Amino acid sequence: MSEVKNIRISSGEDIVATITKRGDGYLEIENPIVAVPTTQGKVGFAPWAPFVDKTDKTIKVSLSFVVFEAEPDNDIVNQYKSMYGGVLSPNKQNIIL
């Protein structure tokens, strides 16, 4: 199992992460990021848990803190995959003959 999801947690943060496992009472995620405002008035991404040991690839999040999970916007998924080396799927384009 490996799926990119938007996860809202009870603190109000929206995390974009890859869910690697669904356990009894927890989600195991990797590469979690959150949106942060930039000085140019745009939005960038930053690690959700920047002080976690980088050799530990996954984080367990208790389901008691998960408000919901949803499919993120395609642009967000593409940005996420470009950050973490996933395969990018091209936007669907119409062929005009």
The rounded distance, in Å, linking the Cα atoms of 65 and 50 is 19
Listed by start position, the domains of the chain span: 3-84
Mean local confidence (pLDDT), 78-85: 86
CB under 8 Å to 59, separation ≥6 — which residues? Answer: 28, 29, 30, 32, 49, 52
Count CA atoms within 13 Å of residue 92 on its CB side: 1
Structure confidence at residue 2 (pLDDT): 65
Of the chain, the percentage scoring pLDDT greater than 90 comes to 48
Q: How confident is the model at residue 8 (pLDDT cuts 50, 70, 90)?
A: very high
DSSP secondary structure code for residue 48 in this structure: S
Instruction: Write down the CATH number for the domain with range 3-84.
Output: 2.30.30.100
Q: With beta carbons less than 8 A apart as the criterion, state whether 29 and 47 touch.
A: no
Tokens for 75? 């642009």
For residues 16 and 42, the model is more confident at 16
For residues 92 and 8, the model is more confident at 8
Q: Where are the beta strands (DSSP E) in the chain?
A: 3-9, 14-23, 26-37, 43-47, 59-62, 66-70
pLDDT reading at 92 higher than 90: no
Q: What is the pTM of this model?
A: 0.79
